[in-house]
Structure 1
Amino acid sequence: MTREAVARKKLARIRAGAPVRSLDLFAGCGGLSLGFHAAGFALRGAVEFDPDAARSYGLNFHGGERAHSLARDITQTQPQDFAKELKLGPVADAFDVLVGGPPCQAFARVGRPKLREIDAHPQAFRHDPRARLYQEYLRWIDICQPLAVVVENVPDVLNHGGQNIAEEIGEVLEEKGYVCRYTLLNAAFYGVPQMRERMFLIAFRREIGREVTFPAPSNWLVLPPGYDGSRAVALKFLKGLLDDAHDYAEPPTASRDLPRAVSAKEALQDLPPIFARAELASGSLKRGARRFDQPVPYPKVRKLSAYARTMREWPGFEAPEDGLKDHVIRYLPRDFDLFARLNAGDQYPEAYRHALTMLAERVADLRARGQVVREGSTEYGRLKDAIVPPYDVGKFPNKWRKMWPDQPARTLMAHLGKDSYSHIHYDSAQARTISVREAARLQSFPDGFVFSGTMNPAFRQIGNAVPPLMAKALAQNILIALRGKEAQDDHVGERTAAAV
């Protein structure tokens, strides 16, 4: 059967009312999949290399079934074997939509001619490992023959060493029979309490007969200069390319009559408070791995924000009745007092100055008690190490940030798995970095979504994910095109997905 015939067959099936079946590559714990699931898509499978993330995916979407929870190396996985293992039938008929985002490092310095060579010669990647993951992504598209493709990545792919990788991906897909568009979208415009800017590329088979569009914003926000500046740099680069960026689409505009973007306080204020200094003093907060085995009940709250209610009542991922088991924080005894001193928006230079003030106050207090502590002495050095962070202000200006309560949080990164100083809680009384569950809230994961592993792997999974509410907005837009209708009832989609 020709590719055109396969596309028409899949499209007819969907437009007759059958569920739209998705496959998630480079899936992580499943942020994209959760959004597509919420829009009514049937999740048929995922490929993910990280064992903790793969277990999270299987646990949340497939009841922990072993076949859906295994870590898989995409370079060692054959699509036909994958479909057979999951009992999905012929691979070319198993999936309607393919979503994911190959790591951008795989695209570095691989130009258009090289990409076409890689696409045309399946073994070419063996001679150029930089392009291997990109080639694998194309290989799965070739074999699975999806009606639609979604690619997510960092904004830098628009100017990666002078290359526009998104445009190059689009060109390769267009040669395969797709219509492509890409743009930059910020999650804060789509109900996510986080200013997360990402590139999204969507491709439709030409048989669908629809132009690619991107979802209209649901929320409004004036982005801080750093975000506006980054976007301006990317757009300036694109405009300089003229016709060489013909697949680029301007981001949909958010109007001021929309609801304001969800703030960090709206996202987190109903969660149990964690008073770090009090817990440290009582001995309940100790050094060691944070395991998710102690439920913490929700506090009584007079009124939930609309966002908190969404996170607690997400269909299929409702809040656990016995409380939250991953509402845990890092053990940072040196810094809890310093966190309390910070003002909203303070970054590392301000934190360092506050710490030097605290050191001076401590030295003055000791001198008032008759203990002389001279600068440069062993005792002074010991005090400084116990109060002042050791990082160079010039090298790490953005290492720390205390969140603004009335704004969305800044971008959560995978680096959360190593430390979470980039997201210090806005409440000075709690004086701490955010918990795993709070990071999940800021990324729009519902309270019933479970992360496999301990604290550090969970933070990493969250930082790597696509915000599910952002993914849902994209999925709803794609569903309209595939169904061939102008509106869809989410509940109809949910019922048909559950029937698969």
Structure 2
Amino acid sequence: MVVLDLFSGAGGLSEGFFRANSTFVAHIESDKYACETLKTRTSYWKLKENNNLSIYYDYLLKKITKEQLWELANISDLEEVICKEISEHSFDNLVYKIKNNLKKTQHKKIDVIIGGPPCQAYSIIGRARMKNSIENDHRNYLYKYYVKFLNIFKPKIFVFENVPGIKSAGNGKYFNDLKKSIEDIGYSIQIKELIASDFGVLQNRKRIIIVGFKIKKNKKYSYPIFEKIENKNYFVKDVLSDLPKINPGEKIEGLNKYTKKTNSYLKMANIRDVNFNILTQHETRPHNNRDREIYKEAILAWNTKRERLCYKKLALTRPELISHKNTNSFTNRFNVIKENTNASHTILAHMAMDGHYYIHPDITQLRSLSIREAARLQSFPDDFYFEGPRTSIFRQIGNAVPPKMAEQIAKKIKELVIQDF
């Protein structure tokens, strides 16, 4: 299955397609650090294919640099990760590079195009934050380039993912134009809102997943039936239980740092293999004492009353902790990860700016989630290494499609490609 990955981000969706043994002709992404993450993960898969993962593990243990890793994995031979914004200016050059990669890999055509443009311009939260400036945001129209790639490479199937808000953004104008544009170039478009918790991810994350089929005569098309994985026997605490306690602003990495053996959920979700014992990026952001006291109140409210902390009520009971006069604006700012539930609330890119919405449930730690914990709740495996500063990494994680969800999607798409649907 030959795949082109557009607006790749850190590679959550492509991780699922890697697991389905896909060949990528390119990952196209504009963010520098996300591109470095893609290069590192591409190195992992190439080394795994050649039974040479010891090189990758040397990188995780900081014995070699990322540049040495990329060189040893020979990823420079094919410009598979293209760090470039998709625009009118870059489009023709990107098409040239993709066609050149096809020749180098000796593949005649692309079977599947995956990806989705940045969702900030479509998400309800993004629209609220950006207000009137949202109308002039160029990201509203990036879907047009997705359609142009479809029209040039004409894959059998495509997978377009985005936030549920894409259907209502611009009063439906963008979505309706996307749908019509795709149908006009000869694709049957099928749309559903899926939730990550149906696919073995312990998170209530909703995504619009559009699947399109190149139309053939006398052929009827329906939405693929993706295999679901029930979460009823797993709890959020299963994601966190084997990681060491850590203070705000600290980092714990290296061999033999896990406090327990892996568990059935971590194995099922491909997060931590039985033999994997290298902990990386268990790193937290710093917090001041006032915020940590608020975290304590939030954890107590949930543990004793099953209530979410209300900042306005806190102003009455603990006025010394209040830093914002307008308490109405921060009513739902603080949120604890519910360890005894089957799915956490959604991990968002906003985590890069504020950890208050992702408070670790252990009252002895009083901190927000570490990078590794957030990645795990998104179902990223522990051997997935994110490049860049902490803020960028949280953004990469929050923007991603959960790899376990992507894996279930990719399995079915590969089956359809082989069957030629």
CA contact (8 A) 1:92 1:145 kept: no
Residue identity matched to 2:281? D
**Aligned with 2:4 (options 23, 33, 36):** 23
Query: Which protein has the larger Cα radius of gyration, Structure 1 or Structure 2?
Result: 1
Taking the TM superposition and a 5 Å limit, the aligned residue runs for 1:420-499 are 420-484=355-419
Q: 1:424 to 1:215 in 2, by over 3 A?
A: farther
Instruction: Please tell me whether the aligned partners of residues 174 and 180 of structure 1 are also in contact (alpha carbons under 8 angstroms).
Output: yes
Letter of the structure 2 residue corresponding to residue 74 of structure 1: I
The match for 1:298 among 257, 269, 283 is: 257
> Match for residue 271 of structure 1?
243
Change (3 A) 1:483 1:210: farther
Deviations 1:139-190 (A, max 9, x none): 2111221111111111112222321644442332222121110011110111
454-463 or 474-483: which moved more?
474-483
> In the alignment, which of 39, 49, 74 is matched to residue 86 of structure 2?
74
Which residue of the partner structure matches residue 158 of structure 2?
Answer: 149
Query: What secondary structure sits across from 2:172 in the alignment?
Result: coil
Q: Which runs of 5+ in 1 are unaligned?
A: 1-19, 109-126, 220-257, 277-284, 360-383, 487-500
1:279 corresponds in structure 2 to none
Verify: 1:312 aligned to 2:272, yes or no: yes
2:114 alignment counterpart: 99
User: What residue number does 1:390 align with?
Assistant: 324
Task: State how far apart, in whole Å, the 1-side matches of 2:344 and 2:139 are.
Answer: 33
1:332 aligns with 2:290: no
The one-letter amino acid paired with 1:312 is: R
Q: Answer whether contact 2:25 2:98 (CA < 8 A) is retained.
A: no
| 1:183–1:36 Cα change, 3 Å | same
Could you tell me whether the CA contact under 8 Å between 1:188 and 1:262 is conserved in 2? no
Instruction: Report the TM-score, using the length of structure 2 for normalisation.
Output: 0.77
- Superposed counterparts of 1:51-90, under 5 Å: 51-62=32-43, 64=70, 65-66=75-76, 67-75=79-87, 76-78=90-92, 79-83=94-98, 86=101, 88-89=103-104
**8 Å Cα contact 1:21-1:96 kept in structure 2:** yes
Structure 2 unaligned segments of length 5 or more: list them: 45-69, 124-135
CA contact (8 A) 1:27 1:100 kept: yes
User: Structure 1 residues 128 and 156 mapped into 2: Cα distance closer, same or farther (>3 Å)?
Assistant: closer
On the 8 A contact 1:107/1:165 being kept in 2, the answer is no
**What amino acid sits opposite 1:162 in the alignment?**
N
What's the CA shift for 1:69?
Answer: 4.4
**Residue type of the partner of 1:409?**
S
TM-score by length of 1: 0.66
* Aligned partner (choices 410, 414, 420) of residue 345 of structure 2: 410
Instruction: Spell out the pairing of 1:251-266 with structure 2 (5 A cutoff).
Output: 258-260=230-232, 262-266=234-238
SS where residue 410 of structure 1 aligns? coil
Aligned equivalent of 2:133: none
- In structure 2, relative to structure 1, the CA distance for the partners of 1:82 and 1:397 (3 Å cut) is farther
Cα offset, 1:210, TM superposition: 5.9
Instruction: Tell me which amino acid in the other structure corresponds to 2:362.
Output: D
Against the structure 1 CA distance between its residues 164 and 194, is the aligned structure 2 distance closer, same or farther, given a 3 Å change threshold?
A: farther
Secondary structure in structure 2 of the residue aligned to 1:74: coil
Q: Deviations over 1:226-268 (max 9, x none)?
A: xxxxxxxxxxxxxxxxxxxxxxxxxxxxxxxx55174321211
Instruction: Write the mapping of 1:7-406 to structure 2, written as runs, cut at 5 A.
Output: 20-62=1-43, 64=70, 65-66=75-76, 67-75=79-87, 76-78=90-92, 79-83=94-98, 86=101, 88-89=103-104, 93-104=108-119, 129=138, 132-163=141-172, 165-207=174-216, 209=219, 211-216=221-226, 218-219=228-229, 258-260=230-232, 262-276=234-248, 285=249, 294-295=253-254, 297-301=256-260, 304-307=263-266, 310-313=270-273, 319=276, 321=277, 323-334=278-289, 335-342=291-298, 343-344=301-302, 346-349=307-310, 351=311, 353-354=313-314, 357-358=317-318, 384=320, 387-390=321-324, 392-406=326-340
Pick closer, same or farther for the CA change 1:34–1:261 going to 2, 3 Å. Answer: farther
Taking the aligned partners of 2:190 and 2:405, their CA distance within structure 1 comes to 17
1:73 and 1:485 map into 2 onto residues whose CA distance is 32
- SS of residue paired to 2:113: strand
Conserved 8 A contact 1:99-1:149? yes
Q: Which amino acid in the other structure matches residue 155 of structure 2?
A: P
Does the 8 A contact of 2:375 with 2:397 survive in 1? yes
Aligned residues: 366
Please report the RMSD computed on the Cα atoms of aligned residues, expressed in angstroms. Answer: 3.1
User: Displacement, 1:87?
Assistant: 6.0
AA aligned to 2:260 is V
Query: Does the CA contact (< 8 Å) of 2:25 and 2:80 recur in 1?
Result: no
TM-aligned CA distance change 1:77 to 1:303, over 3 Å = closer
The residue identity in structure 1 corresponding to 2:327 is V
Judge conservation of contact 1:443–1:467 (CA < 8 Å) in 2: yes
1:306 to partner: Cα distance: 2.3
Structure number with the higher strand fraction is 2
Is the contact between residue 5 and residue 27 of structure 2 (CA under 8 Å) also seen in structure 1?
A: yes
Question: How far apart, CA to CA, are the structure 2 residues paired with 1:131 and 1:72?
Answer: 18
Q: 1:128 to 1:455 in 2, by over 3 A?
A: closer
Identity across the alignment (%): 29
Between the aligned partners of 1:261 and 1:410, the Cα distance in structure 2 is 18
CA 1:421–1:105 in 2, change beyond 3 Å: closer, same or farther? Answer: closer
Residue 328 and residue 157 in structure 1: after superposition, are their counterparts in 2 closer, same or farther (change >3 A)? same
Task: State the secondary structure of the residue aligned to 1:409.
Answer: coil
Residue 152 of structure 2 aligns to which amino acid in structure 1?
A: I
CA distance in 2, matches of 1:135, 1:105: 16
Q: Deviation of residue 389 (structure 1)?
A: 3.9
Indicate conservation of the 8 Å contact 2:112/2:156, yes or no.
Answer: yes
8 A Cα contact 1:270 1:301, kept in partner: yes
Distance (whole Å) between structure 2 residues aligned to residue 141 and residue 21 of structure 1: 14
Q: CA offset at residue 400 of structure 1?
A: 1.6
In 1, the alpha carbon distance for the partners of 2:387 and 2:91 equals 23
